[in-house]
Amino acid sequence: MINDNKKEKGVVLYHSGAGSTKFIAQLITEELSPFFDMEISHIKNEFNNEKLNRYSFVVFGFPTHHAEPSLSMLEYVSGLNKFSVSPKAFIFTSYGLYPGNSLRIFAKFLNKKNIRVLGSEEFKSPASDGVLLFPDKLKFMFNFEQNLYRKIKNFAKQVVSCKTSENNKLPPYKWYVPLNNLIKPLGEFTYGKYKKNISADTDLCIKCNKCIDNCERNAWINISEYPVFVVDKCEFCLECIHKCPVNAISFSENMKNKPRLNEKFFKTVKYEQL
């Protein structure tokens, strides 16, 4: 066990657009808290090498985008220096339908910084707003996996029971993922098209600047009366849409006035699943 009588420090660092990854990160933090002195943070809070060195281990969580880790998470790790003493990490992704090799890609990314990956997990979460554009038949994509909470608990157990000396474990390679490359351009094209339509409705906007403050990639800027959207910076993670307190931001007329997420996910995942 990493853990002994004295509580070691651990941190869960996440990137999240629509909120699913954040929610899972919170539940993982809760599960680990009896064993470790836990903290949780969004990656934007400047966790550099020096700060990360204060923890015995780091849990990284990110959404899968186009069968890869979210760009913000990759950029965050790119910005770290190579560690001289290899930190221990556990990684997880939340995905809507098919995570591909996103965990393995991310593990290799961490390895380049000399960060060891000791455990990993994929969590099927509700697909996010893109599904609002599909016919009703596809609304099943709003579902999340039935054993999600159990899986979260098992993931936490992996962390608790991990031996300090354990070596890097790459998540298994899924041979069929290259097939995904055939449909990937279609997904990117579709999302690219909707990304261009992201805008804030000035009739609703209350100029709170939450979109500006929360965007990891500075895709919202403060150069006029209302926040201005810069499409080239956007990774379409949807965080601005979900952080807007008055639902002023959207990328299609179709999604206006529709419930944005599967509320059941946030309300029941912990209480009805065991």
Q: How many CA atoms lie within 13 A of 245 on its CB side?
A: 6
Judged by CB under 6 A, which of 31, 35, 47, 64 binds ligand FMN?
A: 64
Amino acid of residue 249: I
**Footprint (CB under 6 A) of ligand FMN, residues 224-263:** 236-238
Q: How far is the CB of 243 from ligand FMN (least distance, A)?
A: 11
Judged by CB under 6 A, which of 3, 16, 72, 120 binds ligand FMN?
A: 16
Q: How many residues of this chain interact with ligand FMN, rule: CB under 6 A?
A: 26
Judged by CB under 6 A, which of 67, 132, 211, 269 binds ligand FMN?
A: 67
Amino acid of residue 190: T
Which segment (43-51, 88-96, 202-210, 216-224) binds ligand FMN by CB under 6 A?
A: 88-96
Q: Is 191 in the site for ligand FMN (CB under 6 A)?
A: yes
Question: Residue 142 in contact with residue 20, Cβ under 8 Å?
Answer: no
Q: Is 63 in the site for ligand FMN (CB under 6 A)?
A: yes
Question: Residue 221 in contact with residue 231, Cβ under 8 Å?
Answer: no
Q: Is 89 in the site for ligand FMN (CB under 6 A)?
A: no
Q: Is 97 in the site for ligand FMN (CB under 6 A)?
A: yes
Structure tokens at 260: 């944005």
Q: If you count DSSP H runs as helices and E runs as strands, how many of each does the chain have, helices first?
A: 9, 10
Q: Is 69 in the site for ligand FMN (CB under 6 A)?
A: no
Binding mask 22-61 for ligand FMN (x = CB under 6 A): x---------------------------------------
Parallel, antiparallel or unpaired: strands 88-95 and 68-69: unpaired
Parallel, antiparallel or unpaired: strands 88-95 and 57-65: parallel
Question: Residue 14 in contact with residue 42, Cβ under 8 Å?
Answer: yes
Question: Whole-angstrom Cα distance, residue 144 to residue 158?
Answer: 22
Q: How far is the CB of 237 from ligand FMN (least distance, A)?
A: 6
Question: Residue 58 in contact with residue 13, Cβ under 8 Å?
Answer: yes
- Contact positions vs ligand FMN (CB under 6 A): 16-22, 63-67, 94-99, 125, 127-128, 130, 191, 236-238
